[in-house]
Structure 1
């Protein structure tokens, strides 16, 4: 909600109080709010604002009182003026007073023919990859500069870095910085509109404006309004199953976005090519394998991990079957080393991992970030599914294995990632034996060999 006028000190006081009356819930909050505002105005704002009014009155001073919601109500008084021309851009100096934290921000806003976008993907690397589809569609429909706000900077740079007109920044101040952008969105299983400037979008990005308005107008139908994440996601997964949607196509948000396929561009950092060429297995035939998943609980393993004894049995059988094919274990620095592995690449950069995955004959893993990455790089995966729903996270070009006896319990209860709902110790993963995975990997390797011979 924004009010834009040329204001005197009296006008500012009146509007702040008016907003307090309109927004307050209950008389106690109203009295507290008015008291805080008046104290702040008298002690901190009156003199500097009076000087600003005197200094900029002739330049067409504009005062804005705006509201930004983040864990409660945060109110700003924004001052700005537009009088500096720099090419096709027009500068507007903005002074933000946070009435509760007493924070003062002074910065330049620029109005131009391109729109500025704050893009906040949540989750892990796989989620970053999927959310990149929305970023690419936004780029395709307008001239824009996008700042990607990420919680995991390494993943963010790996997926979003190197793109034109895209900058990766920390998500720490996203909700404060969002007001500076023409559009601010947060992407998870839904695309949330956090903030927008309708006039700018309508003028310079009409197609994007239509998408935003569609989401806003249909939000109650599109969103699952349940506070608990596990229940919200579970309902969403069931809705997607009925509608024939998956983790990618759910981001269409009805008819707002296209999401015609499950492909995005993964940038490569050429500086890491020499590192790839220096590994001992460079130029050999190899498969990759991962034993690990996000540590959402420190000291605990997720149920979706294929049992270690099953993986090591697979590695042993694979080496007996393919003596001249190396097995490379990928993962983080704290990953458990598997027995029988030819080469370990643990704790290395994601940029090096991209090169390794790209040239792998096959990648073996549970559902996770490396599967999403490998698939985008054209490497076929054999994926062992358990709690995670195949209809949401499975790629049709991969071999997706799951137990008919038990699977797809994600979101059935709050601790689904670590505690088996049946109390049986994850039979969904134990039911998939090493021979089943070996046969699947064999088929992938032989199919790849036949395709290579056909190309030659």
Structure 2
């Protein structure tokens, strides 16, 4: 009986999807027939991957619109809600659909359809080249350039994602990174990292962060890669030690941990928000952070949208390809850049080590040293305008959550003098760690 019910549900979903596809196809056909010369051309875009991949794709489409003129975008993604949230930041009419259910049925209905992932390609077998030439000649030219670029990475396209590591090396050799390779393929200008992604304005108040200075830290990975894996070679396992050392140097440093189900609690962090935020709340918290400490992850891409700097501990993924130039990018002490040398690279060390040495040999002290200059300058600036006496009266007894005990104002000046010693204080902190 259960098998019968399951089969009935599958049939119902397929029937519903077929009906929806027919309605959408009719609307697309009607629009192509009746749209005036100034109406934006409707384009189909398939996007796959995690939050970071969707952000990179959104920047590409933003720059595509800037280069060719107005477009109406139908986005097909396996993460429809994430896609709707990110692509709403574009200055264009956007509709989002479920990729697995509708893409193959509807792709032929459009005058042009793109696949945007680590690369951007055109589905040439369904392109209406004459229609593009008449309605959107600049878009036709971009489509032609993408098709001309394709032979140089054809093997990577055919074997995606298994040759993504090779693709990253090709892009790096050409002078591009993950952030702007798509624009390089299309030969259009890169419009920068900033992206006006929607955030929840009440998030800081909800979690007690309004008006307070803090840094975020994240140690998770994309659960969609392998849901059965408890951890990943991309994850730096010693962030707890890093935070503990930073707290010795900067006792009033407020550290907020963010993440979802793949993150593990960092005991030395002040506030644990793993699984406690919506995606818009997370974005608001990242947006107002002074700094984000992380592995290579989608949150690093998100932080870059708000001009928030990240300190990124790299392991198997390529620094040259994935690094944002404004970030503190820590190259692995050994090995590294082994992503996609085999299908298990993200779960097990490609060389067979129990722990990936690219991460396990990275000392917490080296991460602290990389952060020292940034945090020392920030701490000095913060101390210059927010003394204990300037805190709200209701926060003085508990130090506004910064770890200040009552009466801290007595020694606060002395602590700031010690903070000014910089390298000497860092060395002492490392000795007593």
Q: Alignment RMSD, CA only? A: 2.7
> Is residue 211 of structure 1 aligned with residue 106 of structure 2?
no
Say if 2:154 is the partner of 1:223: yes
1:201 corresponds to which residue?
Answer: 132
* Aligned position for 2:55: 129
1-structure distance, mates of 2:218, 2:291? 12
Equivalent residues of 2:156, 2:167 under 8 A apart: no
Which has a greater percent of strand? 1
1:378 corresponds to which residue? 307
Paired position in structure 1 for 2:204: 276
CA displacement at 1:356 relative to structure 2: 0.8
* Greater mean alpha carbon deviation, residues 107-116 or residues 446-455: 446-455
Give me the TM-score of the superposition, normalised by structure 2.
0.75
Contact 1:137-1:257 at 8 Å conserved across structures: no
Structure 2 CA distance for partners of 1:229 and 1:429, relative to 1, 3 Å: same
Q: 1:315 to 1:242 in 2, by over 3 A?
A: same
1:158 to 52, 72, 85: 85
| Deviation, structure 1 residue 200 | 2.4
Residue 237, structure 1, aligned to residue 168, structure 2? yes
**Does 1:330 pair with 2:258?**
yes
1:388-441 CA distance string (max 9 Å, x none): 000000011001112232211112122111121222220000121111112222
Gapped regions of structure 2 (runs ≥ 5) = 1-17, 386-433
- Aligned pair count reads 351
Once residues 389 and 409 of structure 1 are traced to their aligned partners in structure 2, the CA distance between those partners, rounded to angstroms, is: 8
SS at match of 2:269: coil
Change (3 A) 1:448 1:165: farther
Q: 1:129 to 1:225 in 2, by over 3 A?
A: closer
- In the alignment, is residue 293 of structure 1 matched against residue 293 of structure 2? no
Sort the Cα spacing of 1:275 and 1:161 in 2 relative to 1 into closer, same or farther, 3 A: same
1:144 Cα offset (Å): 1.6
CA distance in 1, matches of 2:21, 2:56: 37
User: What is the TM-score of this pair, normalised by structure 1?
Assistant: 0.71
Q: CA deviation at 1:242?
A: 2.4
Q: Return the alpha-carbon distance in structure 2 between the equivalents of residues 134 and 160 of structure 1.
A: 11
Instruction: Check 1:154–1:320 CA distance in 2 against 1; reply closer, same or farther (3 A cut).
Output: farther
Counterparts of 1:51-450 in structure 2 under 5 Å? 105=22, 107-108=26-27, 109=29, 110-111=31-32, 112=35, 113=37, 114-140=40-66, 141-163=68-90, 164-171=92-99, 172-194=101-123, 195-224=126-155, 227-252=158-183, 254=185, 256-260=186-190, 262-269=192-199, 272-295=200-223, 296-300=225-229, 301-307=231-237, 310-333=238-261, 335-347=263-275, 348-424=277-353, 425-448=355-378
Looking at CA atoms only, which structure, 1 or 2, has the larger radius of gyration?
Answer: 1
Structure with the higher helix share, 1 or 2: 2
